[in-house]
Amino acid sequence: MAEPFEYISHARLVYKDGYRNTYLGDVPEPVVYGVQGKLREYYGAKEGPPIASTLDHIVAAVAG
């Protein structure tokens, strides 16, 4: 069995052009969160390319 360890997640959010750019730990490129489909309509977000929302990422993480 593996030895116990402690993990602390570090995240930084930067709002840019209406999107949330999230920097996670030591990864240099941000994860960009936006909206798509019905969420875009619900929030009245501006037109643009569909970008996965935080909800999309949560669902994918739990499913995978």
pTM over cut 0.75: no
Nearest to 44 by CA among 33, 53, 35: 35
Q: How far apart are CA 11 and CA 36, in angstroms?
A: 23
pLDDT at 64 over 80: no
Q: What is the pLDDT of residues 18-39, one digit of tens each?
A: 788 999 999 999 999 888 888 8
pLDDT for 2 beyond 90: no
Q: Which residue has the tokens 């840019």?
A: 16
Residue 40: burial class (beta carbons within 10 Å; 0-12, 13-18, 19+)? middle
| The residue to which tokens 């909206």 are assigned | 35
